[in-house]
């Protein structure tokens, strides 16, 4: 699994000038890798503005909110993140019964 720093270099051309870095755990790097690869293939003119964890899942905000391919990629990434531990990348579940709402595998369930 590539690190978030590696992804930022690999996909630097796909990131908007205002991009502040990946604001999520390393466990989602494979989800981000897939999303950015898909973006480069199917919506290469669109740039990623924001990638952050919010209410337990990964939210991607693109600089073109009307592009259908980019919107589909963001939706797929959000769905995938809800099944992927944000800490380690293993299969996880969205824990919404206590705070903060988060996606974790069994090992990292208690980690905030």
Residue 98 Cα to chain centre, angstroms: 22
Binding status of residue 31 toward Zn ion by CB under 5 A: no
Closest CB 106 distance from Zn ion, rounded Å:
8
Looking at the Cβ atoms of 14 and 29, the one nearer to Zn ion is: 29
Selected binder of Zn ion within 7, 62, 73, 105 (CB under 5 A):
105
CB count within 10 Å of CB 20 equals 11
Q: Choose the binding region for Zn ion from 15-23, 28-36, 47-55, 82-90 (rule: CB under 5 A).
A: 82-90
Selected binder of Zn ion within 39, 48, 62, 108 (CB under 5 A):
108
Given strand 22-23, what is the order of strands in its sheet? Answer: 22-23, 48-54, 57-62
Closest CB 108 distance from Zn ion, rounded Å:
4
> CA-CA distance, 55 to 101, in Å (whole number)?
5
Interaction site with Zn ion (CB under 5 A): 85, 87-88, 90, 105, 108
């Amino acid at each position: 699994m590539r690190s978030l720093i590696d992804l930022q270099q690999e996909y630097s051309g796909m990131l908007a000038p205002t991009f502040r870095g990946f604001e999520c755990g390393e466990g989602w790097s494979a989800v981000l890798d897939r999303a950015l690869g898909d973006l480069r293939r199917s919506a290469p003119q669109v740039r990623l503005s924001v990638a952050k964890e919010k209410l337990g899942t990964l939210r991607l905000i693109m600089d073109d909110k009307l592009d259908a391919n980019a919107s589909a990629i963001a939706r797929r990434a959000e769905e995938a993140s809800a099944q992927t531990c944000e800490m380690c990348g293993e299969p996880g579940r969205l824990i919404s019964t206590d705070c903060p709402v988060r996606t974790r595998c069994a090992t990292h369930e208690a980690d905030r």
